[in-house]
């Protein structure tokens, strides 16, 4: 699974992009975020306040109950500030 991070999430986690293989028990976006938080204090710090974490799967906005598939591109980022 390809993970992408943007803005301060990228800075806090310390990378813009990584390939990870979450355990098979991880089925939803919410579970993926909980699993990521166990990967280290940098993830924990970036993902604690989920009100500030938006998610896109394969470049479409999704909610936390979205079900993930192998090979998905999952992006985590703060609320957008375009315009």
Partner 1 sequence: MIRVQREDFDPGAEIAALTRGRRDIGGVTSFIGLVRDMAGGDKIASMTLEHYPGMTEQQLAAIEDEARKRWPLDAVLIVHRYGELKPGDRIVLVVTASSHRDAAFDACRFLIDWLKTKAPFWKLEETSQGPRWVDAKESDDQAAARWRRE
Shortest distance (Å) from residue 25 CB to partner 1: 28
Contact 48, 36 (CB under 8 A): no
Contact set for partner 1, span 16-75 (CB under 8 A): 56, 59-61, 75
| 79 interacts with partner 1 by CB under 8 A | yes
Q: Using CA atoms, how far apart are residues 62 and 38, in angstroms rounded to an integer?
A: 22
| 12 interacts with partner 1 by CB under 8 A | no
| Among the listed residues 62, 63, 68, 60, the one whose alpha carbon sits nearest the alpha carbon of residue 22 | 68
- Residues near partner 1, by CB under 8 A: 4, 6-8, 56, 59-61, 75, 77-83
């Amino acid at each position: 699974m390809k993970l992408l991070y943007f803005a301060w999430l990228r800075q806090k986690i310390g990378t813009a992009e990584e390939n990870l293989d979450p355990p098979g028990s991880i089925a939803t976006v919410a579970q993926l975020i909980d699993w990521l938080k166990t990967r280290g204090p940098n993830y924990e710090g970036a993902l604690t306040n989920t009100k500030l974490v938006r998610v896109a799967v394969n470049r479409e906005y999704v909610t936390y109950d979205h079900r993930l598939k192998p090979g998905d591109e999952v992006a985590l980022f703060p609320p957008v500030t375009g315009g």
